[in-house]
Amino acid sequence: MKKNILIFRSASYDIICRLINYILEKYDSESIYIIIQKEAIELLRIKYPNIKYIINENGFFKYNNYLENINLRNNVECREYQEIYIPSSTIEINNFQEIQAIISKISKKNVFFYNCLGEVTKVNTNIFYIKISEKLKKLSESLLNVLLLLVLKIIKFSCLVVSRLKMDTKEGDLNDR
């Protein structure tokens, strides 16, 4: 039985091509599906005519848009995928919460991130884990902002103390004369 593999077109053309080649080298003959923006389809269709293209009309992958687009959902959710890939044009894989939320609606076995170096990392797709991760990220950003403000206030206070000490020293020098 052929494996169904789904790719989100969330990276540059070069990264997508490397990912497709990686999959084609890993498996002999699989059913590869790619959710792709309409404007990005032509070059890939010429290079990879055997891939099944699922057009995402809305450009960016947004969870609410996905839920509202019945045709897209029916096209994606009508099969189980053994592997789903989320490619990234960067080394670090950040800000893919919308895609992860979409993936929570899709029947799948494994989900992987594929970065610009060709590194493949398995993803925890538990929606609870994703929500907790989002909250922790926001919390850490807030804490970092608070810490930064505190450091700036300490620096400002230190500058005031130093300038006050300099003024006191100058006044003391004048009084000694």
Q: Are 92 and 156 contained in the same domain?
A: no
Q: Are 167 and 112 contained in the same domain?
A: no
Q: What is the pLDDT of residues 91-120, one digit of tens each?
A: 887 778 888 888 888 888 899 999 999 999
Q: What is the pLDDT of residues 38-94, one digit of tens each?
A: 888 998 999 999 999 998 877 788 888 888 888 988 999 999 999 999 999 998 877
Predicted TM-score (pTM) of this structure: 0.69
Segments forming the whole domain that contains residue 155: 128-177
Beta bridge mates, 111: 84
How many independent structural domains does the chain possess? 2
The proportion of the chain whose per-residue pLDDT surpasses 90, expressed as a percent, equals 36
Q: State residue 129's pLDDT score.
A: 58
Which distant-in-sequence residues (6+ apart) come within 8 Å of 10 by Cβ? 61, 86, 87, 88, 96, 99
Q: Are 121 and 155 contained in the same domain?
A: no
Measured CA distances, 144 to 92, 97, 133, 149 (Å) = 20, 21, 16, 9
Q: In this structure, are residues 34 and 41 in contact, taking their beta carbons and an 8 Å threshold? A: no
Q: Are 120 and 132 contained in the same domain?
A: no
Structure tokens that stand for 58 in this block: 């809305």
Q: Are 108 and 132 contained in the same domain?
A: no
Q: Are 155 and 176 contained in the same domain?
A: yes
Measured CA distances, 119 to 90, 115, 164 (Å) = 11, 6, 56
Q: Are 67 and 152 contained in the same domain?
A: no
Residue keyed to tokens 């919460």: 97
Q: Are 100 and 159 contained in the same domain?
A: no
Q: Are 92 and 58 contained in the same domain?
A: yes
Q: Three-state SS for 5?
A: strand
Residue keyed to tokens 């053994």: 82
Q: Are 33 and 107 contained in the same domain?
A: yes
Structure tokens that stand for 144 in this block: 């970092």
- CATH number for position 107: 3.40.50
Q: Are 84 and 105 contained in the same domain?
A: yes
The gap from C-alpha 173 to its chain's centroid, in whole angstroms, comes to 62
Q: In this model, does residue 34 exceed pLDDT 90?
A: yes
- Distance between CA 114 and CA 33 in Å, rounded? 16
Residue 39 burial (CB count, 10 A): 8
For 74, the enclosing helix (H) or strand (E) is helix 70-77
Structure tokens that stand for 143 in this block: 């804490």
Q: Are 54 and 106 contained in the same domain?
A: yes
